[in-house]
Amino acid sequence: MAEIPPIERVISGKGIIKIPQAFNKARQILLYVDLLRPPTNEYQNYTWNPSRSFYAHVAFCIDNYVLYDYDVNFAQQVFQVFEGQDSQNYLALYCSHEDVLNSFVQYAVASGFPYFKNNSIKDYPYTVFIPNNIKFFCYTDCALRLTLSAREFFTCDPDAGQPTPPPPPPPQWRRHPP
């Protein structure tokens, strides 16, 4: 199983990070955010422990459509941006089903009668991480380090099922002035 290399960026201001296709094979994705440089006019709310502030907006997008967004409020913060346990369960079920079918084939061969293996769940789709870019906007002059790290699916067969792509967006309408 190949590792999914993490994406690490130091950011300040406004920008975008392109997410590679390798993240479609991830069963869990975490975004770690570390404050490198606080803003010059930092606000601290001490009624929280740790104290709360505001450092950035981070949005996960499919092209220009925002799928979900987060506010960075702490000097060290982690977001779970994808949890694919349901897809991992499907892949485990696929492997188990394949093993049972193989045992039937071995029994049929040993007994001398024909048996045709039919894995009816082989092509079932499963959900994957679908954002393809991260857009960010830092508050004033602060700087952050973003680390997007992932854990890959466990599977017995790389051809098990197919990842489900997102549905296409609706056709664009013409914008009207206010």
Domains of the chain (ranges plus CATH)? 7-84+127-152 (2.60.120), 85-126 (no CATH)
3-state secondary structure 115-137: CCCCCCCCCCEEECCCCCEEEEE
Q: Given a cut of 60, is residue 60 above it in pLDDT?
A: yes
Does 5 or 157 have the greater pLDDT score?
5
Alpha-helix residue ranges (DSSP H) falling in the chain: 85-111
Over the stretch 134-154, which tens digit does the pLDDT of each residue have?
999 999 999 999 999 999 988
Q: Residue 27 and residue 44: Cα distance in Å, rounded?
A: 35
- Mean pLDDT of the region 21-25: 90
